[in-house]
Structure 1
Amino acid sequence: MNDTIKQGKTAAIVSYITIVGTLIALSMNSEPKNEFARFHIRQAFGLWVAFFALAFLVSFANSLYATFGFYIFFMILLLYGFTGALAGKKQTVPLLGKYFQQWFSFIS
Structure 2
Amino acid sequence: METLSSKEKNYSIINYITFIGMIIAYFFNKELRSSYVTHHIKVMFGLVILLFISQVSHQYINIIMGDIIWLVSFVLWIISFVYAVQGKRTVIPYFSENVQKWFTFLD
Tell me the residue number matched to 2:81. Answer: 82
Higher percent of residues as helix: 2
Q: Contact 1:4–1:35 (CA<8 Å) still a contact in 2?
A: no
Measured against aligned partners, the alpha-carbon deviations of 1:6-63 in whole angstroms (never above 9, x if no partner) come to 4311111111111111111101101021111111011001110121123212222453
Compared CA separation, residues 54 and 71, structure 1 to 2 (3 A)? closer
Q: Contact 2:19–2:48 (CA<8 Å) still a contact in 1?
A: yes
Identity across the alignment (%): 26
Tell me the amino acid that sits aligned with residue 72 of structure 1.
L
Q: Contact 2:4–2:87 (CA<8 Å) still a contact in 1?
A: no
Q: TM-score, with normalisation over the residues of structure 2?
A: 0.84
Tell me the residue number matched to 1:71. Answer: 70
Tell me the amino acid that sits aligned with residue 100 of structure 1.
V
Task: Please say if 1:38 is aligned against 2:38.
Answer: yes
Measured against aligned partners, the alpha-carbon deviations of 1:46-104 in whole angstroms (never above 9, x if no partner) come to 110121123212222453x4444333222111000000000111123344221110011
Tell me the residue number matched to 2:9. Answer: 9
Compared CA separation, residues 78 and 94, structure 1 to 2 (3 A)? farther
Alignment of 1:17-56 (within 5 A): 17-56=17-56
Tell me the amino acid that sits aligned with residue 36 of structure 1.
Y
Query: Looking at both structures, which has the greater relative contact order when contacts are Cα pairs under 8 Å and sequence separation is at least 6?
Result: 1
2:19 is paired with a residue of what secondary structure?
Answer: helix
